[in-house]
Amino acid sequence: MRISDMNWMQVEERVKVDDRCVIPLGSVEQHAYLSLAVDMILAERVAVEAAASSGVPVFPVVPYGLASGFTDFPGTVSLSLTTYIGVIGDVLNSVYRAGFRRILFVNGHGGNTPITAYISEWLNAHSDATVKFHDWWRGPRVWDKVQEIDPAASHASWMENFPWTRLAEVEMPAMSKPRVDFARLARVDATRKRQLLGDGNYHGLYQRPDTDMLAIWDEAIAETRTLIETDWD
């Protein structure tokens, strides 16, 4: 259930019997020929669909994240690490004050993972809470399915090209892009990253059949649903 479909009184009553909630984390950044909002679209959608059967409230996606490496691509928005820590800290404190004690972050952007160090500190000051952090696209079940379909899968490649992340009237290249030099990419600034990446795809095909994508999506929903519904002790 989206939190936008609840009022404050319903939340107050719900946390008395079920203190779980889900917070999607996204990013607004270049994804080659795909939407700039890929990460926020996918994080929120997988969270909402996975929580549907249990009715666990899903908060709106936190749209902006840590994307400093892509700031030379127009449309990318990147928060500083200190700002992001402040945002996530305020979100955690707010849902905790509302009574939520079992919190799942469904993350859609690899660059956001440094926040896990802060979450660990936050938990030390909130010992009655449990927080899970789930990179939905690299959960074991999802990643196994990706590897089964096509191991050449990466940022802005086919593995992020879902019907709901592609843009109307934007034609995808038919080629398979060579693998970028990841070691070199990691040691240069945003301007040189753009030069190395070209259109932004790291490597692999730009699109695969929707049957492949829906098979991955089914695994994503099932895996995220399991995290929502089990193993909170």
The C-alpha atoms of residue 108 and residue 26 are separated, in whole angstroms, by: 5
- Listing DSSP states for 52-102 in one string gives TTTT--BPPPB--B--GGGTTSTT-BB--HHHHHHHHHHHHHHHHHTT--E
Count Cβ atoms below 10 Å from residue 142 Cβ, excluding itself. 23
pTM of the prediction?
0.97
Q: Are 65 and 26 in contact (CB under 8 A)?
A: yes
First-residue to last-residue Cα distance in the chain: 23
| CATH C-level class of 3-229 | alpha beta
Encode the chain (233 residues) as per-residue pLDDT tens digits: 999 999 999 999 999 999 999 999 999 999 999 999 999 999 999 999 999 999 999 999 999 999 999 999 999 999 999 999 999 999 999 999 999 999 999 999 999 999 999 999 999 999 999 999 999 999 999 999 999 999 999 999 999 999 999 999 999 999 999 999 999 999 999 999 999 999 999 999 999 999 999 999 999 999 999 999 999 98
Provide the residue ranges of all domains of the chain, joining segments of one domain with +: 3-229
Count Cβ atoms below 10 Å from residue 85 Cβ, excluding itself. 19
Maximum separation of any 2 CA atoms in the chain, in Å: 54
User: What is the structure's pLDDT at 233?
Assistant: 82
Tokens read off for 143: 């990643």
Q: Where are the alpha helices (DSSP H) in 181-209?
A: 182-186, 190-197
For residue 1, the 8-state DSSP code is -
